[in-house]
Chain A
Amino acid sequence: MPLNTITVEQLSKNYQVPEREAGFSAAVRSFFKRKYKDVKAVQHVNFTIPQGEIVGFLGPNGAGKTTTLKMLSGLLHPSGGKASVLGFIPWELNPDYLRSMTLVMGQRNRLSWDIPAADSFLLNQAIYRIPDDEYKQTYKELDELLELEPLIKKPVRNLSLGERMKCEIAAGLLHRPKVLFLDEPTIGLDITGQVRIREFLREYNKRTGATILLTSHYMADVTALCERIIIIHQGRLKYDGGINDLSRKIAPFKLIGVMLADADSHDLSGYGTQVQNEEDADKKYIQVKAEDVTRITSRLLADLPIHDITITDPPIEDIIEQAFNQ
Chain B
Amino acid sequence: MFLIIKRLWQVNWAEQWQYRANLLMYLLYWLVSPIIYLAVWTSIANQKGSVNGFTANDFIAYYMVLLICDQVTSNIVIHTFGYKIQDGTLSGELVRPIHPMLTNGLVNNIAFKALTMMGLTPIWIILYFLYKPDFSGMSLSNMLLAVPAMILAFFIGYLLSASITSLAFWTTRVYSIHEFYFALILLFSGQFVPLTLMPKVVQDIAQYLPFQLLIYYPIQLILGKLSAQQIAQGYVMSLIWLGISGLLFYLVWRNGVKRYSAVGA
Query: Hey, which bits of chain A sit against chain B, CB under 8 A?
Result: 15, 66, 70, 73-77, 91, 93, 95-96, 98-99, 101-103, 105-110, 112, 114-115, 119-120, 122-128, 155, 183
Give the chain A neighbours of B8 by CB distance below 8 A. 123, 126
Which of A93, A99, A102, A108 lies in contact with B94, CB distance below 8 A? A93
Give the chain A neighbours of B91 by CB distance below 8 A. 70, 75, 103, 105, 109
* Complex CA–CA separation, A129 to B91 (angstroms): 20
CB of B265 within 8 A of CB of A66, answer yes
Q: Which residue of A lies closest to B1 (CB)?
A: A126
CB of B10 within 8 A of CB of A114, answer no
Instruction: Tell me how far the C-beta of A125 lies from the nearest C-beta in chain B, rounded to whole angstroms.
Output: 7
Instruction: Render B222-265 as a binary contact track against A, CB cut-off 8 A, 1 for contact.
Output: 00000000000000000000000000000000000111111011
CB of A126 within 8 A of CB of B95, answer no
* Complex CA–CA separation, A230 to B7 (angstroms): 40
Known: A75-B262, A95-B97. A110 touches B92 (CB 8 A): yes
* Complex CA–CA separation, A74 to B97 (angstroms): 11
The yes or no answer to B40 lying at the interface (CB within 8 A) is no
CB of A126 within 8 A of CB of B6, answer yes
Give the chain A neighbours of B134 by CB distance below 8 A. none
Tell me what chain A mostly uses at the interface: helix, strand, loop, or mixed.
mixed
* Complex CA–CA separation, A183 to B18 (angstroms): 30
Which of B3, B10, B258, B262 lies in contact with A119, CB distance below 8 A? B10
Query: Hey, which bits of chain B sit against chain A, CB under 8 A?
Result: 3-4, 6-8, 10-11, 14-15, 18-19, 89, 91-92, 94-98, 257-262, 264-265
CB of A119 within 8 A of CB of B14, answer yes
CB of A114 within 8 A of CB of B18, answer yes
CB of B94 within 8 A of CB of A75, answer yes
CB of A115 within 8 A of CB of B7, answer no
* Complex CA–CA separation, A15 to B98 (angstroms): 27
Which of B18, B96, B264, B265 lies in contact with A127, CB distance below 8 A? B96
Give the chain A neighbours of B7 by CB distance below 8 A. 119, 122-123, 125-127
* Complex CA–CA separation, A119 to B6 (angstroms): 12
Known: A73-B95, A76-B260. A123 touches B265 (CB 8 A): no
Give the chain A neighbours of B98 by CB distance below 8 A. 95, 127
Give the chain B neighbours of A128 by CB distance below 8 A. 97
Which of A75, A96, A101, A102 lies in contact with B260, CB distance below 8 A? A75
Q: List 29 A-B contacts (CB under 8 A).
A: A15-B261, A70-B262, A73-B95, A75-B95, A76-B260, A76-B262, A77-B259, A91-B258, A96-B97, A98-B96, A105-B91, A108-B89, A109-B91, A109-B92, A112-B11, A114-B18, A115-B14, A115-B15, A115-B18, A119-B7, A119-B11, A119-B14, A120-B11, A123-B7, A126-B3, A126-B8, A127-B96, A127-B98, A183-B265
Give the chain B neighbours of A74 by CB distance below 8 A. 94-95
Give the chain B neighbours of A102 by CB distance below 8 A. 95
Q: Which residue of A lies closest to B9 (CB)?
A: A123
* Complex CA–CA separation, A302 to B15 (angstroms): 64
Q: Which residue of A lies closest to B257 (CB)?
A: A93
Give the chain A neighbours of B19 by CB distance below 8 A. 114
